[in-house]
Structure 1
Amino acid sequence: MSKYEPSCLNSNDVDCIEQLTLFVRGVANCLETTDADQETVDTLKQIGESAVEATSRALSDKQSEINDLREQVSSQAKSNAEDRQKITQLEDELAKRAEYDANTRKKITELEETVETDTSASDTSEQQSSQSSATEDENEAKTTALEQVCALPEHVAVENLTSNQKRARSVARRIKDYGKSVPAGIAITSTRIRDVLTAQEDKRIHRQTVQRVADFLKEFGDGGVDIKETRGGKTAVVFDDGLADDVTSVVTANDRATVTPGVV
């Protein structure tokens, strides 16, 4: 019989091997009852046993291949199920992100309306003394969302902005202090943003947080802020000089209007 374990073969294969073995032994026994010499009988036995061994090996190999294919099919089915689950999760994340972006745009619109109301109330006396010049300036320039966010009263910003929006606001309000002058305007690298936020919050700031802050700066900049890559391969947020001046002016004017004794 074959040296291969019977467990490697199915029942049909085992029956086939046993029948072949019995056949070879039967032929050899028949020859022994005739005048055939012992050498011929032994040769026949060896040939028969070799045939049985080769057949057993071939059937065992085929059965192993079938088992391997079954395992591969099972593994692929499991992998496909995991992929479908990942796709479902990604779809859910995209839906949540779309909802978040829609809420953010709605919040910005509400903040713009709040800024317009607060700015109108705080600048009443100044507008009365220089109404004509103020009207001309208002017609000549359009205020960006970044300027409006930076001009928000502190309590309004705290109550209405998300954590990353407040971080972007804090960087923009002091962009001339934190940034560096370059031909394109005022630039601040992602590393510098992380250092500034780390110092402000006294905790480690993750790379994803820095990227979201940079994205908000560009979004609120209304074309006056761009995200570029330096020659050294670092990411930098670049304010054009005009927007940097406008933001600084808004912050300075707002600080003057809100300073009280004992507050530095």
Structure 2
Amino acid sequence: MREASTATAETTAALETFIETATDALASLGANETTLSEVEAAGDDLVKTVTTQQDRLEELETRVDTLESELKTERETRAKEAAEDRKRLSDLEACVDDDTETADSQPDVETPSDASTLGVEPPQTPLEDVMRVPEHLVEESLTANQQRARFIAKDAHEYTQQVPAGRAIKSSALRRVLAAGEDATIYTETVSRVIDFLDELGQEAVKIRESQQGERVVVFTDAFVKRVVAYQNHRQRNTVVTEGGVTG
């Protein structure tokens, strides 16, 4: 781009020289003043046009330089965030494993909310691991957008609509759900990041599609939603048993 700008400047200088030479030549051949004036005017217009294009080109070069710098910064930021997310997720998975081992080491208590009875399956995606993180660890372990992704996934059956591929929610609907849940304005970039987390953590259980209107759509598989519902029911029944005691 810089080479193009230099070439344009050289072209302008060459045009000015050519017009001056042509005018002198016409004058030496006895051209009248009207002809000379017309040639000079046409030459001036051409030089102005080239100069304007040169100015515009320089503006575009500056804009490209700015965009390249912003893109580089954005890539570096995303790479850093991705590394932090992977570490945070790894820590969370380790935490969940520790909690599971602790729970397994406790004496068995016979309750009507036995997981096998309710058909609760082990987590099959990182998103399900995140969903099962204890509430007291959520804020310190997850970023704001990861918490939002968890919020959507936990009740995916309530916020989505049935489609042939599973259960889907459009980005506009996802924004409304988040706004209602937080009682705050949710921006487009936030929605985009939440969808990215759902896609990344959901792996094969989550697909991102695009509607005919160009809107992003999150699609959860039926199997994923079934596991979520089973786990949520199991968790709620365990809470009731814990708070009310086992009756027999």
Say whether the fold is shared (TM-score over 0.5): yes
Report how many residues are paired.
216
In the alignment, what sits opposite 2:158? 177
The TM-score normalised by the length of structure 2 is 0.71
In structure 1, the gaps of 5 or more residues are 1-8, 24-47
Which residue identity is paired with 1:151? R
Given the two structures, how large is their TM-score scaled by the length of structure 1? 0.67
Matched residue, 1:199: 180
Alpha carbons of structure 1 residues 211 and 88: separation in structure 2 relative to 1, 3 Å: closer
**Is it true that 1:66 corresponds to 2:37 in the alignment?**
no
- Superposition deviation, residue 164 in structure 1: 1.4
Task: Say what the alpha-carbon RMSD is for the aligned residues.
Answer: 3.6
- Specify the SS of the correspondent of 1:222: helix
Structure 1 stretches of 4+ with a deviation exceeding 6 A read 126-129
- From 31, 35, 38, the equivalent of 1:57 is 38
Q: 1:261 to 1:85 in 2, by over 3 A?
A: same
1:86 aligns with 2:67: yes
Among 220, 228, 231, which residue is 1:250 paired with? 231
Letter in 1 for 2:194: V
Residue pairs, 1:76-155, within 5 angstroms: 76-125=57-106, 143-155=124-136
Checking the alignment, whether the CA contact within 8 Å between 2:123 and 2:129 is kept in structure 1 is: no
Q: Does 1:239 align with 2:220?
A: yes
Q: 1:148 to 1:255 in 2, by over 3 A?
A: farther
Tell me which of the two structures has the higher relative contact order, counting C-alpha pairs closer than 8 angstroms and 6 or more residues apart.
2
Structure 1, residues 134-168: CA drift from partner, whole Å, max 9, x if none? Answer: 8xx99x96632121111111121111111111111
Whether the 8 Å CA contact 2:174–2:191 is kept in 1: the answer is: yes
Deviation at 1:123, TM superposition (A): 3.7
Counterpart amino acid of residue 182 in structure 1: V
The 1:232/1:76 distance shift into structure 2, 3 A limit, reads closer
Q: How far apart are 1:257 and its partner, in Å? A: 4.7
**SS state at 2:219 partner:** strand
- The aligned counterpart of 2:7 is none
Change in CA separation of 1:216 and 1:65 when aligned onto 2, cut-off 3 Å: same
Deviations along 1:157-190, one digit per CA (max 9) or x if unpaired, are: 1111111111111111112222233343333333
Change (3 A) 1:200 1:150: same
The CA deviation at 1:51 is 0.8
- Among all aligned residue pairs of Structure 1 and Structure 2, give the percentage whose two residues are the same amino acid: 33
Match of 1:166 among 118, 133, 147: 147
- Separation in 2, partners of 1:92, 1:204: 26
Whole-angstrom distance in 2 between the partners of 1:200 and 1:65:
62
User: CA offset at residue 67 of structure 1?
Assistant: 4.0
> Which range moves more in the overlay, 119-128 or 68-77?
119-128
Deviates more, 1:168-177 or 1:119-128: 119-128
The Cα shift of 1:198 comes to 1.8
For the pair shown, the structure with the greater C-alpha radius of gyration is: 1
Matched to 2:153, the amino acid is A
